Amino acid sequence: MNMLHLSQTDYAVSRWSGGTTTQIAISPPDASYSARDFLWRISSAVVEDEQSVFTPLPDYDRQLMLLDGSLLLRHDGGAALRLDPYQVHAFDGGAATESQGRCRDFNLMLRKGRCRGRLRPLRLEGPVLLPPPQGGLLLLYCAAGRGALGEGTVLAQGESILLEDGEAPLGLSVSAPADFVAAEIWCDIP
């Protein structure tokens, strides 16, 4: 299994019209969000403005999970949808999306027709075995607290582990309640 430990110094932070975004991982590694040439991207944003507009990404499917705060979303002028922490919301990145509220969120962006994936919250109070990312990858992000993976790799709040092509379950243990986000991704090669 390939394992990469990522911390704040590995992330790229940028400003957008409503706050800041921290890019946690992107594929391929030399891809650029602004060029829209990526297969997938994982990021966390802080929404500072009470009202904001999401950047349209018509070639991507998106999944959004709040880590704290609350948000009302509207897609294409439709009815408002309220998101609270650790709820996952999947939507078309090309939809005209407006938000109301302040929060810190976690985003998964997947190239349509090339990648599929899912976000899952993991609210832990004890040890757990994570299934291997067979044929794909798993990014485990520590949203609150801390935990230890396998033989002692410690994940502090805001850090991630990127696992690829594993075949055996991976143990994750916590000494106090902790919150993690699991992003699982599979990409098809044309």
User: In this predicted model, what pLDDT tens digit does every residue of 2-48 receive, in sequence order?
Assistant: 889 999 999 999 988 788 999 999 999 999 999 999 999 999 999 99
Residue 82: pLDDT band with limits 50, 70, 90: very high
3-state DSSP call for residue 41? Answer: strand
First CA to last CA across the chain, in angstroms?
Answer: 24
Q: Give the pLDDT of residue 169.
A: 83
In percent, the amount of the chain with pLDDT more than 90 equals 79
Residue 137: pLDDT band with limits 50, 70, 90: very high
| Token pair in block for residue 128 | 């757990």
Q: Are 190 and 43 in contact (CB under 8 A)?
A: no
pLDDT at 190 over 60: no
pLDDT at 189 over 60: no
pLDDT at 117 over 90: yes
Angle at the Cα of 178 (from 105 to 102), degrees rounded to 5? 25
Q: Give the pLDDT of residue 135.
A: 83
| Token pair in block for residue 136 | 């794909």
Q: What are phi and psi of 8, to 5 degrees?
A: -55, -35
In percent, the amount of the chain with pLDDT more than 70 equals 98
- For residue range 90-103, list pLDDT tens digits in order: 999 999 999 999 99
Residue 1: pLDDT band with limits 50, 70, 90: low
pLDDT at 151 over 90: no
- For residue range 154-181, list pLDDT tens digits in order: 999 999 999 987 777 888 999 899 999 9
pLDDT at 125 over 70: yes
